[in-house]
Amino acid sequence: MVEPSRSPEIRALKGARALPPLMLVLFHYCEGHGYRGAWWFDLPVARGYLWVEFFFALSGFVLTYVYAVRWRQMWTVRGYVSFMRSRLSRLYPLHLTILLVILAMVIVLRAVAARGGYASIYDEQWHPIVSRDTFIANLFLVQAWNIFPYLSWNGAAWFVSVEFLLCLLFPLYLMLARGGWRVALLMILGGAIALALLAHPRYGLDLTFHNGIWRGMAAFGMGVGFAVLHARVRGRELEAMPDYAFSLAQAAVLAWLVYALYNTGWSHTPRDIYTALAVIALVFVLSFDRGFLARALAIPPLLLLGEWSYAIYIGQTPLLQLLRHAQMHLYPMPGDVVLGRTWAQWQPLWHWLEPALLVLAAIGWGALLYELIEKPANAWLKRLGARTPQVRSASG
């Protein structure tokens, strides 16, 4: 059975998981409901989808960091099954929960729409497809493997589908990682080139149901390469380096990220590569758990949000769909009086208050999902795996 080695926890990377899901929530909201008309807000939010690169790279880094010392066991039936069980116990319970929540919403809101004599949000042309075939594909986590030419059910779960594929392929990445630092550099350079080549003239790197697998493979491979370099350079010499050296590296990457967000034009162009490479580089400069940014990200509130990050990300779709239904069918008309003012008069304030409340709702809903579904389901599945007789490997 493959058990993770007792690698020290990297608190900076755990805390760094806190903010990207919130940027993705705001991106999905603004894409569907309009931007705010403020450059300082709109430019970073419009590239919110590129924080998925951070998660792919982080996944490649962490899995290599944890499992590299036991790479041989990954090539046994017993070890591979154990690894996949561990990963699915993390990914699948919340994925299935949100899929069933959306199924219930489809049934209820279509019934409400039929009674009200209008089309439900699930029957609008722009909406992710909620068919029987796509539901089955989502059940088996293959919906983003270039099978369908559209998003389906929980659109955000395309990431989980690609992550599942990367877990299946992880022993191959781990084998490549045995090639040393030269191979690691090739993986990082190759991943960067692959992302640059993938960037579409119209969509940039916002690739999901189509070519999202290649996008994920490129960023994941870069994370694997960074983990190999991290293992090569850490040690006494690194420990002797002053903190300001790590702070300078983090400041340089932050400056790069700010430049990419605010000085490379609007989103969904090949210039996405500048932002994507910056967020991926964050994984490496934070991995040593030293420097000003690492300390800032290791504070308790961000560590807690980091725990909830997957639940926040995967759980955002029902909230966005309920908001769309409310805007179309429940909100007051512009001339309706609300608290002594017409709804039109409230709009300038609501224009900003609505996304802020959505973010708070996403955090609360994510915390609930984590505590009631993700955490207990993960623990139960791991206990179940521990009680299940292990498959005997071919090597004995």
Could you give the 3-state DSSP secondary structure of residue 157?
helix
122-136, 283-297, 311-325, 357-371: the lowest-pLDDT one: 122-136
CA pair distance 59, 70, nearest whole angstrom: 17
- pLDDT for 394 equals 33
Question: Please, what is the Cα angle at 194 between 189 and 197, to 5 degrees?
Answer: 125
| Structure token digits, residue 242 | 């002053």
Indicate whether 2 pLDDT > 90: no
Question: Is the residue at 216 inside a domain?
Answer: yes
Confidence of residue 1 (pLDDT cuts 50, 70, 90): very low
Residue 382 domain-assigned (yes or no): yes
Mean of the pLDDT values across residues 62-72? 88
**Contact assessment for residue 148 and residue 131, using Cβ atoms and an 8 Å cutoff:** no
DSSP letter for 127, please: S
Nearest to 246, CA basis, from 291, 184, 287: 291
Whose tokens are 């955490």? That residue is 375
Is residue 394 assigned to a domain?
no
Q: Does 284 score more than 60 pLDDT?
A: yes
Which pLDDT score, from 0 to 100, does residue 311 have?
97
Whether 5 is covered by a domain: the verdict is no
What local confidence, expressed as pLDDT, does residue 233 receive?
Answer: 85
List pLDDT tens digits, range 81-105: 989 998 999 999 999 999 999 999 9
Question: Residue 58's pLDDT is what?
Answer: 97
**The pLDDT value given to residue 124:** 83
In a domain, 2, yes or no: no
Lowest-confidence pick of 69-83, 148-162, 263-277? 69-83
Q: Looking at the 3D structure of the chain, how many domains does it have?
A: 1
Q: Which structural domain, as residue segments, surrounds residue 50?
A: 11-387
Contact call for residues 121 and 320 (beta carbons, < 8 A): no
Token pair, residue 97, equals 């929960």
Q: Flag whether 392 is in a domain.
A: no
C-alpha 227/C-alpha 255 separation (Å) is: 23
- Distance of alpha carbon 285 from alpha carbon 8, whole angstroms: 16
Q: Residue 236 — pLDDT band, cuts 50, 70, 90?
A: low
**Is the pLDDT assigned to residue 303 strictly greater than 80?**
yes
Position 6 pLDDT exceeds 70: no
Q: What angle do helix axes 158-177 and 51-67 make, rounded to 10 degrees? A: 40
Residue 393 lies in a domain: no
For the segment 241-259, the average pLDDT, to the nearest whole number, is 95
Average pLDDT, the chain: 91
Tokens of 21: 């899901």
3: left (phi over 0), alpha (psi -120 to 50) or beta: beta
pTM: 0.92
- Asked if residues 198 and 269 have their Cβ atoms less than 8 Å apart, the reply is no
pLDDT at 240 over 90: no
Q: Mean per-residue pLDDT for 217-226? A: 96
Q: Which residue has 């591979």 as its token pair?
A: 80
Query: Is residue 1 in some structural domain?
Result: no
CB distance 155 to 317 below 8 Å: yes
Mean pLDDT of 182-206: 94
Residue 88's Cβ-count burial label (10 Å; 0-12, 13-18, 19+) is middle
